[in-house]
């Protein structure tokens, strides 16, 4: 195989992925105006349903625009030898392989983010604002960008530097050391993400003593689930949309409730949502997902180890001097069909896990408060209640609202 052939394979992968995604999106869009099933007719009033339809249509059209821009930008960058241009810039500042790679990825990531920021701004301050979701200020928007770049540089740059260092000293066996590093980092982040990263963006406060905390503690005791750390996060700082999540293991285990969730739901509904999350813990879903992520990462690094030394990868991107960072870019583009397949499998597993967690909540608490909470959350986020089955298969990590309600009522 020649470098030219590999280049066209990369272009073909990008175009085929785009066509498939847009086809699935178009199928889904045809269902935006479907009549709601009887189980869901109490979610929206007529005016609210029309608003949700407008929101879906608006985000669909905007999605076409942003994804088309991304495709054209990527193909144009490849066609005009953009990676060679950036690689030359990085090499003009240093002869050190690690520094060259960090400069290269820094330019690519920040440049890409700057080019897509207008779309992000429009989504936040026009679309989300128009439909009543946005609470983000310009100051918060800018600070989030700067903090994101800082984290990318410190954490992402640090991991990349170590992986390249492993490659320099161990050659083809670098993947084992890189896998060990990524595994340690993944476990660490699962343990301490809420304590170390979240405070950079949001304020977290312990849930105050009262009826809600008492009900949560009472439920936790009935199922033998120790839960002392319950926090409220100021999600309303950015959006009216609500959420809740568990994080950490052992003594670092905590539940975080968005303040918007507390405002939108009754106490019983919040407990039902947490019962669902407890179900994920009790059914070992958290451990499974963590192990699956680690194994998939190991597999990718293992495959990468067979190709990274091949100059064909760098030459396919028109870069004459082979390097780890250029080879990595080419490999990620070529690996994307495999990533797409593993993503589909993980979504399939995730949807099965959601049913199991719903069943756990139904059997250890109550089904009806969970149903009403799901309806309220769908209503408040103007969710699509009639998605196309193909779109669900490709993109949903959760069953549809209708599927969950029917399962909870059986």
Which residue out of 128, 264, 277, 354 is catalytically annotated? 277
> Crossing angle of helices 367-380/267-282, nearest 10°?
100
Q: Is the confidence at residue 298, as pLDDT, over 90? A: yes
Q: Is the confidence at residue 252, as pLDDT, over 90? A: no
Percent of the chain at pLDDT above 90? 67
CA 377 to each of CA 44, 83, 123: distance values in angstroms, whole numbers, following the listed order: 11, 44, 21
Average pLDDT value for residue range 176-184: 95
Q: How far apart are CA 224 and CA 229, in angstroms?
A: 15
pLDDT of residue 230: 86
Burial class (CB in 10 A: 0-12, 13-18, 19+), 148: middle
Look at the block and give the residue holding tokens 């002392």: 228
pLDDT of residue 243: 83
pLDDT of residue 319: 86
Quickly list DSSP for 191-256.
HHHHHHTGGGT--EEEPPSSHHHHHHHHHHHHTT-----EEEE-GGGTBS---EEEE--GGG-EEE
Which residue out of 259, 358, 359, 368 is catalytically annotated? 358
Q: How far apart are CA 74 and CA 169, in angstroms?
A: 33
Produce one character per residue of 8-25: b if its CB has 16 or more CB atoms within 10 Å, e if not.
eebeebbeeebeebeebb
pLDDT of residue 184: 94
Q: Give which of 141, 75, 49 is closest to 375, Cα–Cα.
A: 49
* pLDDT tens-place string over residues 145-154: 999 999 999 9
pLDDT of residue 85: 93
Ranges 173-187, 216-230, 267-281, 382-396: which has the least confidence? 216-230
> Crossing angle of helices 46-79/97-122, nearest 10°?
150
* pLDDT tens-place string over residues 89-118: 999 999 999 999 999 999 999 999 999 999
Ranges 191-195, 344-348, 381-385: which has the least confidence? 191-195
Q: Write down the pTM of the prediction.
A: 0.89
Q: Is the confidence at residue 1, as pLDDT, over 80? A: no
**214 catalytic residue (yes or no):** no
pLDDT of residue 244: 82
Average pLDDT of every residue of the chain: 91
pLDDT of residue 9: 93
Q: Is the confidence at residue 164, as pLDDT, over 80? A: yes
> Which residues, including other chains, have CB under 8 Å from residue 22's CB and lie 6 or more apart?
64, 67
pLDDT of residue 235: 86
Q: How far apart are CA 15 and CA 9, in angstroms?
A: 10
Q: How far apart are CA 373 and CA 276, in angstroms?
A: 11
pLDDT of residue 86: 94
Tokens of 312: 């064909």
> Which residues, including other chains, have CB under 8 Å from residue 100's CB and lie 6 or more apart?
87, 90, 91, 93, 94, 323, 325
Do 149 and 114 form a contact (C-beta atoms < 8 A)? no
**340 catalytic residue (yes or no):** no
Q: How far apart are CA 159 and CA 162, in angstroms?
A: 5
β-bridge partners, 247? 254
- Find the DSSP H helices in 30-96: 46-79, 82-91
> Which residues, including other chains, have CB under 8 Å from residue 347's CB and lie 6 or more apart?
393, 394, 395, 396, 397
For 231, half-sphere exposure in the C-beta direction (CA atoms, 13 angstrom radius) is 20
pLDDT of residue 109: 92
* pLDDT tens-place string over residues 35-84: 889 999 899 888 888 999 999 999 999 999 999 999 999 999 999 999 99
């Amino acid at each position: 195989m020649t470098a030219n052939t590999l280049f066209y394979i990369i272009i073909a992968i990008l175009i085929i992925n785009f066509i498939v995604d847009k086809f699935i999106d178009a199928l889904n869009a045809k269902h935006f105006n479907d009549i709601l099933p009887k189980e869901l007719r109490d979610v929206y009033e007529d005016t609210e349903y029309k608003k949700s339809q407008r929101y879906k249509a608006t985000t669909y059209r905007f999605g076409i625009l942003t994804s088309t821009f991304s495709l054209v930008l990527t193909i144009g960058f490849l066609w005009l030898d953009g990676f060679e241009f950036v690689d030359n810039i990085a090499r003009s500042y240093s002869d050190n392989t690690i520094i060259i790679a960090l400069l290269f990825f820094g330019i690519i990531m920040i440049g890409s983010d700057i080019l897509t920021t207008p779309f992000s701004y429009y989504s936040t301050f026009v679309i989300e604002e128009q439909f009543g979701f946005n609470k983000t200020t310009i100051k918060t928007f800018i600070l989030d960008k700067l903090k994101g770049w800082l984290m990318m540089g410190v954490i992402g740059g640090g991991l990349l530097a170590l992986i390249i260092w492993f490659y320099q000293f161990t050659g083809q066996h670098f993947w084992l050391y890189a896998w060990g590093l990524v595994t340690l980092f993944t476990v660490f982040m699962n343990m301490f993400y809420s304590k170390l990263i979240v405070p950079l963006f949001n304020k977290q406060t312990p849930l105050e003593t009262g009826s809600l905390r008492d009900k949560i503690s009472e439920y936790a005791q009935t199922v033998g689930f120790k839960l002392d750390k319950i926090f409220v996060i100021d999600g309303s700082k950015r959006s009216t949309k609500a959420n809740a999540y568990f994080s950490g293991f052992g003594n670092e285990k905590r539940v975080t409730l968005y303040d918007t969730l507390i405002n939108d739901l009754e106490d019983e509904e919040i407990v039902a949502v947490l019962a669902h999350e407890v179900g994920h813990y009790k059914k070992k879903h958290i451990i499974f997902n963590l192990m699956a992520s680690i194994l998939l990462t190991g597999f990718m690094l293992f495959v990468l180890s067979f190709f990274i030394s091949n100059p064909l990868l760098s030459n396919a991107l028109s870069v004459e001097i082979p390097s780890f960072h250029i080879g990595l870019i080419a490999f990620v583009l070529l690996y994307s069909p495999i990533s797409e397949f593993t993503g589909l499998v993980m979504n399939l597993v995730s949807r099965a896990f959601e049913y199991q967690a719903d069943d756990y909540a139904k059997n250890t608490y109550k089904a009806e408060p969970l149903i009403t909470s799901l309806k309220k959350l769908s209503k408040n986020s103007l969710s699509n209640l009639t998605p196309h089955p193909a779109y669900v298969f490709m993109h949903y990590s959760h069953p549809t609202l209708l599927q969950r309600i029917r399962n909870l009522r059986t």
